[in-house]
Amino acid sequence: MRIPALTFAALLAAGSTALAATPAPAPRPQRTPVRIDIGKITPKQVFPKEKLHTEFVVEVNKLGQVTRVRSGKSCPDLRFNAQTYGNALQSYIRTPDGRAISGLYRLTYDYDPQTQRVRRDVSLVRVGGVDPNAEGAAIQMMKLAAKQHAAPHPGKQAAAPEPRPAPSVDAARLPDLPQVMQTPRP
């Protein structure tokens, strides 16, 4: 079937006016990085301007793990206290040849504002006097976190256990249709 040239031109003109009436698609929004204004604080301004010092006396088990903090001396900077306390709880203390000596140790943390670095020193206070088989503090914290994660939240009801999926069936071991229908084979 041939379309006469005049009809074709009319269709073409009608299509172009329909296209002209259709608005152009909106440009896709571009992702822009999110900038958080924290009052024009530079990283250098976040660091403390004065020297900081904390000390902790810790108990160490036979594996070299810190089991608990027995005592400590803090500084005025609460954030530095919290960071050094957490570091002390997660410490392993061993000799240079890899042996562990259970006992009491003093951990000292000194912050130098000139270099913006923290120096940690370890010194043996006393050999023994602690439970050498005690569990490390880091392991205790991980067990506690796992227990809290598994427990239902107080405001929510415990959800019903989800049904387990049926075990996958091997197609090679499926019964014949006559066995399923319990009919004799021909």
pLDDT tens by residue, 66-103: 999 999 999 999 999 999 999 999 999 988 888 889 99
> 117 pairs with which residues across the strands?
112
Over its C-alpha atoms, the chain yields an Rg (Å, rounded) of 36
Query: Residue 133 corresponds to which tokens in the numbers above?
Result: 């088989």
Query: Residue 37 corresponds to which tokens in the numbers above?
Result: 């204004």
Mean pLDDT estimate for the chain: 79
Query: Predicted confidence band at 123 (pLDDT cuts at 50, 70, 90)?
Result: very high
122 SS3 class: strand
- Main-chain phi, psi angles of 22, to 5 degrees: -75, 130
Mean local confidence (pLDDT), 125-142: 91
